[in-house]
Structure 1
Amino acid sequence: MHITEDRISTGVPGLDEIIEGGLIPGKVYLITGPPGSGKTTLGMHFLIEGARKNEKVAYVSLIQDPNEAVKDMMRFDPSIQAYIGTKKLLLFDLGPILWKEIDRVPTWRSVLVRIREIAEEENISRLVIDPLTAIEFSAENPVEKKAELAKFVRGLEDLGVTTYLISEMTELDHYTEEHYLVSGVIILHYFLLEKKMVRAIQILKMRRTKHETGLFLMEFTHKGLVVHKRSPFEGD
């Protein structure tokens, strides 16, 4: 028996086409790549798409002021300000709160407690947590660390909120626990090609989805990110 699942759009032109129409609702997806590759913008596209469809969505920052991410996105889509004004898109700056509460960096558990409060109180359908690398685990035991991270991911899925975890990744061939625990991994690349910096996107993993595996050209346009169904190594 063939079972079809509803999909929700990523909000990025060209991206849904290479992941069988979009994302599976309620799952956790990892967005990773080097600095400047477009991770936060990808997350903002995802949230704006939800707000445009009358969903209530949230951007949770663990380090920088979330208003900085909004200012960057306004260059491409000024409507983001309207969605913030109508409280369809909520901003949360958890960094100062979490660092004040404990004497060390935030843990998976402390962040999950805050996320659960936000999701349940505000009835959030889409969530971006930026950046995941701000969270550390105090124990050195890798098995215990993996167990805590698994509880974190499972806890997010239990909320029924479709979530992007944004993570810095400078070693593109080095995979960590979160790569194996989430439902999907999207890698953004940013590299020098023929004396020009080029961006590309790659779907490393996407459960229950027929997806492309190669690199696809991704560009910033006046409206934000666009994914082209061709390799960055192909000519125009």
Structure 2
Amino acid sequence: MSTLQDRISTGIPGLDELIEGGLIPGKVYLITGPPGSGKTTMGMHFLIEGARKNEKVAYVSLIQDPHEAVKDMMRFDPSVQVYAGTKRLLLFDLGPVLWRESAHVPTWRSVLLRIREIAEDEKISRLVIDPLTAIEFSMENPAEKKAELARFVRGLEDLGVTTYLIAEMTDLNRYTEEHYLVSGVIMLHYFLLEKKMVRAIQILKMRRTKHETGLFRMEFTQRGLVVRKGSPFEAV
């Protein structure tokens, strides 16, 4: 089992404590949850933490202009603009490029080729791909789909870059192939409780880690996301 020294911080107060001190470097993690639950903000926290430690990190957007994510994050941490300006935080808008190159929509293979170029050219240590759900399989057979996704995840791990894959999940009872193939799954929840919307976080999976499994309260503060020890059902 990895030691604390082997791990890297998520950049979110209270989260590292739930996963034995942080993430295992070079692995792929899935951040999933419904719209508005804080997935992109979680990804930006992760990248800023790396940039703060003089790492070179990258945010890859497959739909929206990545500068929009930076603008949103500036509300909580203005340093994100400094890191983007000094190229410690690199922004890549792959959507338009991949849509032009693909006959239909981006495939796992086309995205991986681009990511490999970025990782090798820029020597990045942390990566966020947002959103994973913008990529479609180039084949219909379920077994071939799983094999293609497995190659995608393995290809990312071969790069040695710690990666967040961000994905929408509206059906919390349905698990897809990526849940089984990645090294960790962090699920964000956003639900109505006593006439108030409440956020929560749950560690569904974290390989080689003794992690918490319950629901923990998560809040947006003036400095961004914070994970609390209390139950989300006691938040209101």
- Which TM-score bucket, shorter chain as reference? over 0.9
Read off the aligned partner of 1:4 and give its amino acid letter: T
Distance 2:64 2:80 in 1: 18
Read off the aligned partner of 1:164 and give its amino acid letter: Y
Q: Secondary structure at the match of 1:121?
A: helix
| Structure 2 segments unaligned to the other structure (5+ residues) | none
Read off the aligned partner of 1:143 and give its amino acid letter: A
- 1:76 aligned to 2:53? no
Match of 2:190 in 1: 190
Distance 1:138 1:24 in 2: 31
Match of 2:125 in 1: 125
Q: How many residues align?
A: 235
Per the TM alignment, residue 234 of structure 1 is displaced from its structure 2 partner at its CA by 2.2
Distance 1:86 1:199 in 2: 33
C-alpha distance after superposition, 1:187-235 (max 9, x if no partner): 0000000100000000000000010000000000000000001111125
Distance 1:3 1:44 in 2: 25
Per the TM alignment, residue 138 of structure 1 is displaced from its structure 2 partner at its CA by 2.5
Match of 1:16 in 2: 16
Match of 1:87 in 2: 87
Per the TM alignment, residue 3 of structure 1 is displaced from its structure 2 partner at its CA by 5.9
- 1:47 aligned to 2:67? no
Per the TM alignment, residue 4 of structure 1 is displaced from its structure 2 partner at its CA by 2.9
CA 1:228–1:139 in structure 2 vs 1: closer, same or farther (change >3 Å)?
same
Match of 2:201 in 1: 201
Distance 2:235 2:154 in 1: 43
Read off the aligned partner of 1:222 and give its amino acid letter: Q
Given the two structures, how large is their TM-score scaled by the length of structure 2?
A: 0.98
Match of 2:223 in 1: 223
* Most deviating of 2-11 and 124-133: 2-11
| Structure 1 segments unaligned to the other structure (5+ residues) | none
Match of 1:57 in 2: 57
Per the TM alignment, residue 54 of structure 1 is displaced from its structure 2 partner at its CA by 0.3
Q: Is the 8 A contact 2:198 2:235 kept in 1?
A: no
C-alpha distance after superposition, 1:92-151 (max 9, x if no partner): 000000000112110000000000000000000000000000000131100000000000
The CA RMSD measured in Å over matched residues stands at 1.0
Distance 2:2 2:72 in 1: 40
C-alpha distance after superposition, 1:149-196 (max 9, x if no partner): 000000000000000000000001100000000000000000000100
Distance 2:83 2:137 in 1: 35
- 1:137 aligned to 2:141? no
Distance 2:2 2:96 in 1: 45
Distance 2:124 2:157 in 1: 13
Match of 1:4 in 2: 3
Distance 1:110 1:40 in 2: 22
Read off the aligned partner of 1:129 and give its amino acid letter: I
Match of 1:98 in 2: 98
Distance 1:202 1:139 in 2: 32
Read off the aligned partner of 1:53 and give its amino acid letter: K
Q: Secondary structure at the match of 2:127?
A: strand
